[in-house]
Amino acid sequence: MKRTTILLFTVLLIFTACTRQHVNTTTSNTIKVGVFDKNGDSPFCITDAMEALKIDKDIAPRVISAADIMMGNTEDIDVYLFPGGSGSSEAASLGEKGRQRIIDLVKKQGKGIVGICAGAYLLTGTENYTFLNLSGYKAIDVEHDHRGHGLSTFSLTQEGEKIFPELADREISYCQYYEGPVMVPVTNNESKYTKLATMLSDVHTIEGTPANMTNNKPFITINEIGKGKTASVVGHPECTPGMRWMIPRLVRVVANKKIISYDNNVVKPDLYHQEILFTKEQQAKYRLAKKQLCKSKEEKLKAMQELADMSAWSAKKLIPPMLRDQDFEVRLLAAKLTVQLERTDAINDVKATILNESDKRHKKLLEKELNQLQSLYGKHSQ
């Protein structure tokens, strides 16, 4: 009987140890990030943020909701990330109590926040909006939010060069922009804000929007308020190939963690050499390319390359489905461009394409692209 009891106890200990080992996948160096899931009608902004965070091997991201915050399910979170979409939708989803909970988490508990585009709006103290007032800035010219988009230009300040030394020797860097906030400092503010980057592009491609509004305005900022820190990003580095690493870097800053370097396969600021704003002419080229995705093989190949080369915002949605085209040349180019666009969220799409290939040579060519795509993750994030 004693032997049976001892045996059962031993098995229980082993089972418990194995279970704990399976559940506890984080370490003391892990930075837990909650990506807010109610951002209007832009689910890709959530995906983009999640995938960018996975570049850093020590960041453990997960999607969270206002209900999670109010139920105490995010107590372990170090940094809250509010992605692009709609700042008003994010504020409304949080509600009064949720917004106050976030404010208290930053000021009293020292939590960090990263706001991207709409998330940067949410962090402002803009008049007549129920925002968080945690960035030290307010948004102006809100009535012309629908001002345009494209590959924009920015430059770092001296403080920004300390945070992003990989860009310190560049006078101009490039990043996707999509109708982000025009920010100016709030006067008589309790916080300590620092501008890390200045936007250079003058975006007013939509008829009726004023010129000289976005240029020379803050592009990336850091703010110390209470015990915590916030970071605001007007553009979208999280979906800009070669620049996505900037988001996990900012997470480390607001979490008061050591800055680490990232591999050269994700730090690629030299991919771009010119601003590409979506003027009427550029929009016409985009619409034509989009239509050609349903035509001949040659037209599909040409259109896919053009969409990638023009840094079209929707390329991330239009190109991965071409992995399921009937023609192998189209599928292969789709795989190559999926790597070029750093769409790690499409890894399973590439895997499915390989699984359904009957030609061994075709499989090998696609597997090469898959390996490159998977290498964009931090080694602990796959």
* Token pair for 192: 């300590």
Q: Could you report the per-residue pLDDT of 55-98, keeping only the tens digit for each?
A: 999 999 999 999 999 999 999 999 999 999 999 999 999 999 99
pLDDT of residue 17: 39
Residues 146 and 245 placed together within one structural domain of the fold? yes
16 belongs to a structural domain: no
Number of domains observed in the structure of the chain: 2
Residues 181 and 71 placed together within one structural domain of the fold? yes
Residues 211 and 353 placed together within one structural domain of the fold? no
Phi, psi of 191 (to 5 degrees): -95, 175
pLDDT of residue 12: 35
Q: Is the pLDDT of residue 311 over 60?
A: yes
Pick the last residue of a domain from 238, 271, 304.
271
Secondary structure (DSSP) of 110-133: --EEEEETHHHHHHS--TTS----
pLDDT of residue 13: 38
User: Across the chain, what does the average pLDDT equal?
Assistant: 92
Q: 259 by DSSP, 3-state: which?
A: coil
Q: Give me the sign of the Cα torsion angle 92, 98, 104, 107.
A: negative
Q: Is the pLDDT of residue 9 over 70?
A: no
Give dist(CA 96, CA 93) in Å, integer: 9
Q: Could you report the per-residue pLDDT of 319-336, keeping only the tens digit for each?
A: 999 999 999 999 999 999
Q: Could you report the per-residue pLDDT of 266-283, keeping only the tens digit for each?
A: 999 999 999 999 999 999
Task: Determine the structural domain holding residue 251 and report its residue range.
Answer: 31-271
**Residue 187's Cα: distance from chain center in Å?**
30
Residue listed under structure tokens 């750093």:
342
pLDDT of residue 22: 34
Overall pTM > 0.85: yes
